RNA sequence: GGGCGAUUAGCUCAGUUGGCUAGAGCGUUCGGAUCACACCCGAAAGGUCGGGGGUUCAAGUCCCUUAUCGCCCACCA
């Protein structure tokens, strides 16, 4: 017997073999020259820092489903795998290791050595991630595995940076960044977490100075130079007598106070204050606008300005100290007032390590917490501290170093977003890029719509080094001259130079797009530059900069490769919703920019809209992907997001060990709904590994498939002679069950197609489950058991069984590839041709992964057949039901008489009486219209046919059963009568519904009457 | 504070444009070692669809409101 298959499906014994077979057959490998419609998915590259968890498992399972389906559809399909170098996260991990094992910092070993160590680390952990994907069954084209820091990606990064620089979209600027004083790097907003900290709100007196004599600060000078205009034209005259009395700082003389009070949680930052802001509509303070205060401890004079955005008069004292260099809101004030009459200064008081610098005067060198203590002490001594009130606030901390972040003014590189964002917004608005579910587009549009400039420099060593060399010159003229000379010697188009002015200093910045196109004699351009005193920027790029290029950089861009021509735009991106902004939006921007012929940008929304409307067919070739499908978030048992940083991630390999890869995949796929996140309680095994009962669902399904296949294979083998002399089978030769099964099969394939086309993975898994377990196993297989033993009947049944199994395996292969592939080989051994000519086409294939997707003839879908079969099912269930209620022994054959409602029903039931007898363990006495009820028989019904079962002796059980049915009917009748009694219903509801209700009522009444 | 989502059986979730006596799996109860499968088979119990309004002939489904939970964004000196 060919079914030496074990009774229970053992994933471990087949998975490795199947996977190796696919690899050996190069089944994952794609060639752009091959025929077939392009289908491409690029993997969301997992961070090299961590092992994969179940969140990755669901994401990659869904991708694998689509790519396997596409392959079976005959598309030229490729799935590009890869890993992200994850800048700060990776460097932090290796630095931590360095500290723990060797007690060294990165400065001890230097840039090159550290980067070398990170590469070693990457090798080890990157391989682990790839092997996890392989255990999961991912059919990635491993020959095309990329790393965001490899040479191919680096080339794309340099080229992109260069183009952006040349187009003026990259600029250098001083910005307030989130500064990690420990790692001494800027970090992005998403790398910050907030902690509640109990501190104080200190209220500090700032004395008001009448007049402006004695002031010497720049801002005042500038204002004087500009003619001493009134700072705030909206200032109402004679304020101060307003109805709100000032509780604080009322001076002895007159009605006006001689000082104002500000409140702060960070008193040490007052050393960098450059203004005090009030609301122009606040009568308590608006009279003071334009005056000055003497900043305590430093004795600098700083202006009182109006800023209605910053200051909420209802909050606190109504006066806000402004420290532009150390607070994001205050920085915004500085920006708002730049170039205006009341522009203010910007003073940085911190060093990059978080200590106070020379601008902090006598506090220089102190750490920020010490400085704070000292400032409070000194203010207290001077009697300027009004109040110290307990206060709880949230302080941002670095995700990596766990230390408090500091808003810090620093030189950074930025990408100017607006011109890139407009086209990216428009392609989504116009539906060239579609989100699934659609609502996620909102987040994308909202975020991108802000067009906030993108800070791309990171003070790290691990990453793409910024391809800029710079040198300072004494004067603008000198710098300009050098620029001109350089432009002569730079024949190559791939380099650009620009003059940069900062704080009155002049720099020449040179961006090298392609360092290799220098003079062949003198060598690389960078070498020449460095010889001339230019130095390369020490910073590296934000990881997202390289990730943003992923859909084209992985395919070889900027080279015009066959891969790129074939597979970009890619077909669909599947990702988690938390990186819609950081990643998805940027990919859309950069693909449009890089792949568009003329590095297209748009200054206005209108311009973008017009261009895209007019040239849709062209633009559609420049998007990175046509669809973005968002997969659910995996939560742990407590409902918290599974993530590496939280440490609650579960390794999919542990689940695969206990349940099998297919069970994991199938279960996760049923959970991939559009709305719900997936809550996955896990439990610890004695050996410390995790597992979860949730995956029993998938494991059971696989086991069912395994055993149904064992049954089918054993029976097909014995029917083999019949199969090989197979003659054409006509629909008319088939039994009701055969035709029903084929109808259900065809319907299921259609539903699966629709589900996958709309990224409803849960629907796909669901229809597979229903068809295979419920229809195929529970009904069809049970019905054909005796048929298969009769050679005459088996001549029809066996081919149908073989075809149905063949199609089922194809249908389910994308979600459960290992088990279906393994069974496929066995099926190939037993029956070579499973086609039913004209009905089911089943082209032979050695490997299922390369087989054709099922395409049973649509004409097989037959509502009439399905309805007739339902009558058969209901009849059987009704008899089983009564048997169970009466506790009839399973083996006891009961006598049944069926009084059919009409001739067609009688005909169906009569034709299938053997099936009824078999599945309901009964003997049919009579099946005909209006058959008389035998004496002492219990009555039940199905499809309005009366079913009489003789020999039921449990009177109590019967009484109960009848009573319950009577109650149900009474309820139903009341509902239906109510509906029909409603004049509106009769008048307005569609006639077929009214008719249906009337019929239901009549049937219910008739049944009740018979009870 | 703004945006999005969720709330349906003990648990985890489906429920397509409003039109069923609201479904599934697990769990529970009853019956079963039947020769594909006990990771199984047959059957049953279990829900006024978070609360309150409204629209409609008809609401789990649409609108308003409210409560609770989750996520994203912006964050109060």
Query: Which residues does A201 contact at the CB level (< 8 Å), separation at least 6?
Result: A263, A264, A265, A388, A389, A390, A391
Name the nt closest to A994 by C-alpha to C1': B19
- CA of A659: nucleotide with nearest C1': B39
- Cα within 13 Å of Cα(A1), Cβ side: 12
3-state DSSP of A627-640: EEEEECCEEECCCC
Q: In chain A, pLDDT over 70 holds for what percent of residues?
A: 91
Q: Whole-number Å distance, CA A808 to C1' B21?
A: 33
Structure tokens at A467: 């391809």
Residue nearest to nucleotide B13 (CA to C1'): A671
Rounded to whole angstroms, the Cα distance separating A310 from A300 reads 22
**B73 closest protein residue (CA to C1'):** A447
Distance from C-alpha of A283 to C-alpha of A237, rounded to nearest angstrom:
10
Do the Cβ atoms of A305 and A322 come closer than 8 Å? yes
Nearest nucleotide to the CA of A975, by C1', is B21
> Nearest nucleotide, C1' to the C-alpha of A876?
B42
Q: Which of A172-186, A359-373, A572-586, A997-1011 has the lowest mean pLDDT?
A: A172-186
- In terms of pLDDT, which residue wins out, A503 or A460? A460
Q: Looking at the C1' of nucleotide B12, which residue has the nearest alpha carbon? A: A679
**A72/A815 Cα distance (integer angstroms):** 13
Of all nucleotides, the one whose C1′ comes closest to residue A884's CA is: B43
Closest nt by CA–C1' to A264: B77
Instruction: Tell me what the mean pLDDT of segment A473-492 comes to.
Output: 77
Chain centroid to CA A233: how far?
Answer: 50
Give the nucleotide nearest to A393 (CA→C1'). Answer: B76
Measure CA to C1' and name the residue nearest B39.
Answer: A700
Given a cut of 60, whether residue A928 has pLDDT beyond it is yes
d(CA A115, CA A699): 44
Angle of helix A661-670 versus helix A54-72 axis, rounded to 10:
90
Q: Is the pLDDT confidence value at A908 over 90?
A: yes
Specify the pLDDT at position A314.
72
pLDDT grade for A509, boundaries at 50, 70 and 90: confident
Give the residue with minimal CA–C1' separation from B76. A315
Q: Which residue is closest, via its CA, to the C1' of B32?
A: A890
Nearest nucleotide to A700 (CA to C1') is: B39
Distance B70 C1' – A633 CA (angstroms): 11
CA of A878 to C1' of B32 (A): 19
Nearest nt to the A266 alpha carbon by C1': B77
* Helix (DSSP H) and strand (DSSP E) numbers for chain A: 34, 32
Q: Please compute the mean of the pLDDT values over residues A743-769 and round it to a whole number.
A: 94
Which nucleotide does the CA of A189 lie closest to, via C1'? B73
Q: A87, A159 in Cβ contact below 8 A? A: no
Task: For nucleotide B70, give the residue with the nearest CA to its C1'.
Answer: A639
Which residue from A912, A551, A481, A497 is spatially nearest to A736, judged by alpha carbons?
A: A912
- CA at A680, C1' at B26: how many angstroms apart? 13
pLDDT at res. A890: 87
Q: A989 CA to B62 C1', in Å?
A: 18
Q: A726: pLDDT confidence band, cut at 50, 70 and 90?
A: low
Which pairing describes strands A319-322 and A405-415: parallel, antiparallel, or unpaired?
unpaired
How long is the CA A538 to C1' B44 vector, in angstroms? Answer: 73
Question: Which tens digit of pLDDT belongs to each residue from A796-843?
Answer: 899 999 999 999 999 999 999 999 999 999 999 999 889 998 899 999
Residue nearest to nucleotide B40 (CA to C1'): A704
Distance CA A749 to C1' B70 in A: 36
Q: Is pLDDT at A61 greater than 90 in this prediction?
A: yes
Dihedral sign from CA coordinates of A809, A811, A814, A816: negative
Q: What is the DSSP letter of A52?
A: -
The protein residue nearest nucleotide B7, judged by CA to C1', is A676
Spanning CA of A694 to C1' of B50, the rounded length in angstroms is 26
DSSP state of A646: T
Residue A983's nearest nucleotide, by CA–C1', is B57
Q: How far is the CA of A438 from the C1' of B62 (A)?
A: 19
CB A410 within 8 A of CB A166: no
Burial zone of A1011 (CB within 10 Å; 0-12 exposed, 13-18 middle, 19+ buried): exposed
CA of A61 to C1' of B7 (A): 29
Provide, in whole angstroms, the distance separating residue A700's CA from nucleotide B50's C1': 34
Question: Which of A72-76, A281-285, A673-677: highest mean pLDDT?
Answer: A72-76
Give the CA-to-C1' distance from A383 to B21 in angstroms.
81
pLDDT digits (tens, 9 = 90+) for A278-336: 888 888 888 888 888 998 888 889 999 988 878 877 777 788 899 988 888 888 888 88
CA of A922 to C1' of B14 (A): 36
Nearest nt to the A992 alpha carbon by C1' = B19
Q: Å between A984 CA and B62 C1'?
A: 19
Tell me the CA–C1' distance in angstroms for A641 and B69.
Answer: 14
Between A877 and A88, name the one with better pLDDT: A877
CA–CA gap between residue A61 and residue A70 (Å, rounded): 14
Structure tokens at A526: 């960078």
Q: Give distance CA A675 / C1' B47 (Å).
A: 21
Name the nucleotide nearest A702; use CA and C1': B39
- Any bridge partners for residue A207, and if so which? A259
HEC assignment per residue over A63-132? HHHHHHHHHHCCCEEEEECEEECCHHHHHHHHHHHHHHHHCCCHHHHCHHHHHHHHHHHHHHHHHHHHHH
**Strand B nucleotides with an atom less than 7 Å from a protein beta carbon:** 3-7, 12-15, 19, 21, 25-26, 30-32, 34, 36-45, 56-58, 69-77
pTM of the model: 0.87
- 3-class secondary structure, A161: helix
**Å between CA of A1006 and C1' of B42:** 29
DSSP structure string for A910-956: HHTHHHHHHHTTEEEEEEEETPPPPTT-EEEEETTEEEEETT---HH
The β-bridge relationship of strands A945-949 and A938-942 is antiparallel
Phi, psi of A673 (to 5 degrees): -90, 175
- pLDDT digits 0-9 by tens, A234-247: 223 333 333 333 33
How distant is C1' of B22 from CA of A523, in Å?
77
Checking each nucleotide's C1' against the CA of A582, the nearest proves to be: B72
Give which of A657, A789, A780, A850 is closest to A71, Cα–Cα: A850
Q: What is the ipTM of this complex?
A: 0.95
Closest CA to A764 of A773, A776, A751, A747: A751
d(CA A937, CA A441): 64
Nucleotide in closest CA–C1' contact with A1007: B21
Distance A967 CA to B60 C1' (A): 24
Q: Which of A525-534, A778-787, A998-1007 has the lowest mean pLDDT?
A: A525-534
Query: What's the CA gap between A538 and A457, in Å, rounded?
Result: 10
Contact A570, A433 (CB under 8 A): no
CA distance A870 to A875: 8
Q: Is A859 exposed, middle or buried (0-12, 13-18, 19+ CB in 10 A)?
A: exposed
**In sequence order, what are the beta bridge partners of A575?**
A630
Beta bridge partners of A208: A293
Q: In 3D, which of A535, A516, A513, A533 has the Cα closest to residue A525?
A: A516
Residue A520 has pLDDT above 50, yes or no: no
Q: What is the pLDDT of residues A698-718, one digit of tens each?
A: 999 999 999 999 999 999 988
Q: How far in angstroms lies nucleotide B77's C1' from the CA of residue A313?
A: 11
Torsions phi, psi of A817, nearest 5? -70, -35
Q: Which nucleotide is nearest to A760 (CA to C1')?
A: B16
Of the pLDDT bands very low, low, confident and very high (cuts 50, 70, 90), residue A228 is very low
A645 band by pLDDT with thresholds 50, 70 and 90: low
**What does the alpha-carbon distance between residue A800 and residue A835 come to, in Å, rounded to a whole number?**
9
Residue lying closest to nucleotide B3, CA to C1': A443
């Amino acid at each position: 017997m060919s079914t030496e298959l074990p009774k229970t499906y053992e994933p471990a014994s087949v998975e490795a073999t199947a996977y190796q077979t696919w690899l050996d057959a190069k089944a994952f490998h794609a060639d752009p020259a091959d025929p077939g419609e392009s289908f491409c998915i690029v993997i969301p590259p997992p961070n090299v820092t961590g092992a994969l968890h179940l969140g990755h498992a669901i994401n990659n399972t869904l991708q694998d489903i689509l790519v396997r389906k596409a392959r079976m559809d005959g598309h030229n399909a490729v799935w590009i795998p890869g890993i992200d170098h994850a800048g700060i996260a990776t460097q932090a991990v290796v630095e931590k290791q360095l500290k723990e094992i060797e007690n060294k910092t990165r400065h001890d070993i230097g840039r090159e050595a550290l980067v070398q160590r990170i590469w070693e680390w990457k090798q080890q952990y990157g391989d682990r991630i790839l092997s996890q994907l392989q255990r999961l069954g991912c059919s990635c084209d491993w020959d095309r595995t990329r790393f965001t820091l490899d040479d191919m990606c680096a080339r794309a990064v340099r080229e992109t940076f260069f183009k952006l620089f040349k187009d003026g979209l990259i600029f250098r600027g001083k910005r307030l960044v989130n500064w990690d004083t420990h790692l001494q790097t800027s970090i992005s907003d998403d790398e910050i977490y907030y902690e509640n900290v109990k501190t104080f709100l200190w209220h500090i007196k700032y004395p008001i100075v009448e007049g402006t004599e004695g002031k010497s600060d720049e801002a005042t000078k500038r204002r004087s130079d500009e003619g001493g205009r009134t700072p705030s034209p909206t200032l109402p005259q004679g304020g101060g007598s307003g109805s709100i009395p000032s509780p604080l700082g009322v001076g002895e003389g007159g009605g006006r106070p001689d000082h104002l009070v500000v409140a702060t949680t960070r008193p040490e930052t007052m050393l960098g204050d450059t203004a005090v802001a009030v609301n122009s509509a606040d009568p308590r303070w608006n009279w003071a606008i334009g005056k000055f205060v003497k900043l305590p401890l430093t004795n600098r004079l700083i202006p009182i300005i109006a800023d209605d955005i910053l200051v909420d008069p209802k909050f606190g004292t109504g006066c806000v100290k402004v420290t532009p260099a150390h607070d994001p809101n205050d920085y915004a004030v500085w920006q708002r007032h730049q170039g205006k009459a009341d522009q203010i200064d910007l003073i940085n008081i911190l060093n990059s390590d978080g200590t106070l610098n020379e601008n902090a005067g006598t506090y220089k060198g102190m750490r920020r917490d010490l400085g704070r203590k000292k400032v409070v002490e000194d203010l207290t001594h001077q009697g300027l501290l009004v109040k110290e009130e307990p206060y709880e606030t949230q302080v941002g901390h670095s995700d990596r170093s766990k230390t408090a972040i500091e808003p810090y003014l620093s030189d950074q590189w930025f990408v100017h977003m607006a011109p890139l964002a407009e086209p990216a917004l428009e392609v989504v608005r116009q539906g060239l890029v579609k989100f699934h579910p659609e609502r996620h587009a909102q987040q994308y549009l909202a975020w991108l719509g802000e067009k906030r400039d993108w800070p791309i420099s990171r003070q790290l060593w691990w990453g793409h080094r910024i391809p800029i060399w710079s040198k300072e010159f004494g004067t603008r003229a000198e710098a300009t001259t050098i620029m001109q000379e350089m432009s002569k010697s730079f024949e190559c188009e791939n380099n650009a130079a620009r003059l940069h002015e900062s704080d009155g200093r002049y720099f020449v910045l040179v961006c090298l797009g392609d360092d290799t196109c220098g003079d062949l004699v003198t060598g690389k351009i960078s070498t020449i530059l460095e010889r001339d005193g230019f130095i390369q920027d020490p910073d590296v790029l934000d990881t997202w900069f390289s990730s943003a290029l992923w859909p084209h950089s992985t395919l070889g861009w900027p080279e015009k490769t066959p891969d790129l021509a074939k597979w970009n735009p890619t077909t669909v991106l599947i990702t988690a919703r938390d990186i819609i902004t950081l990643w998805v939006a940027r990919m859309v921007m950069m693909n449009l920019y890089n792949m568009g012929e003329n590095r297209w940008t748009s200054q206005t929304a209108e311009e973008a809209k017009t261009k895209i409307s007019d040239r849709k067919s062209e633009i559609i070739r420049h998007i990175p992907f046509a669809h973005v499908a968002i997969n659910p978030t995996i939560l742990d048992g407590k409902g918290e997001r599974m993530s590496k940083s939280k440490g609650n991630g579960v390794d999919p390999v542990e689940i695969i060990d206990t349940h099998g890869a297919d069970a994991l995949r199938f279960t996760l796929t049923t959970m991939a709904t559009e709305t719900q996140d997936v809550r996955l309680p896990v439990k610890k095994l004695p050996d410390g590994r995790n597992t979860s009962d949730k995956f029993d669902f998938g494991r059971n399904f696989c086991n069912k498939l395994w055993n149904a296949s064992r049954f089918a294979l054993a029976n097909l083998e014995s029917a083999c002679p019949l199969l090989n002399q197979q003659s054409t089978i006509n629909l008319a030769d088939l039994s009701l069950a055969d035709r029903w099964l084929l109808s259900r099969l065809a319907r299921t394939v259609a539903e699966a197609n629709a589900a996958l086309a709309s990224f409803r993975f849960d629907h796909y898994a669901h229809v597979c489950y229903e068809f295979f377990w419920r229809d195929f196993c529970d009904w069809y297989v049970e019905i054909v058991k005796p048929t298969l033993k009769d050679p005459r009947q088996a001549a029809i049944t066996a081919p149908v069984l073989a075809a149905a199994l063949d199609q089922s395996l194809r249908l389910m292969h994308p979600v459960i590839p290992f088990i279906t592939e393994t069974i496929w080989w066995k099926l190939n051994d037993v029956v070579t041709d499973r086609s039913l000519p004209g009905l089911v086409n089943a082209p032979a294939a050695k490997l299922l992964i390369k087989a054709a997707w099922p395409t049973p003839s649509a004409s097989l879908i037959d509502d009439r057949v399905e309805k007739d079969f339902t009558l058969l099912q209901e009849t059987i269930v009704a008899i089983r039901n009564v048997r169970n209620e009466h506790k009839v022994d399973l083996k006891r054959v009961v006598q049944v008489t069926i009084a059919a409602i009409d001739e067609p029903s009688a005909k169906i039931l009569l034709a299938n009486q053997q099936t009824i007898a078999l599945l309901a363990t009964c003997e049919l006495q009579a099946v005909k219209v209006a058959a008389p009820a035998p004496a002492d028989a219990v009555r039940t019904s199905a499809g309005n046919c009366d079913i009489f079962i003789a020999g039921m002796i449990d009177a109590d059980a019967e009484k109960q059963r009848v009573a319950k049915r009577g109650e149900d009917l009474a309820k139903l009748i009341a509902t239906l009568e109510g509906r029909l009694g409603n004049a509106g219903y009769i008048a307005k509801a569609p006639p077929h519904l009214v008719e249906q209700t009337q019929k239901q009522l009549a049937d219910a009444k008739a049944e009740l009457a018979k009870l």
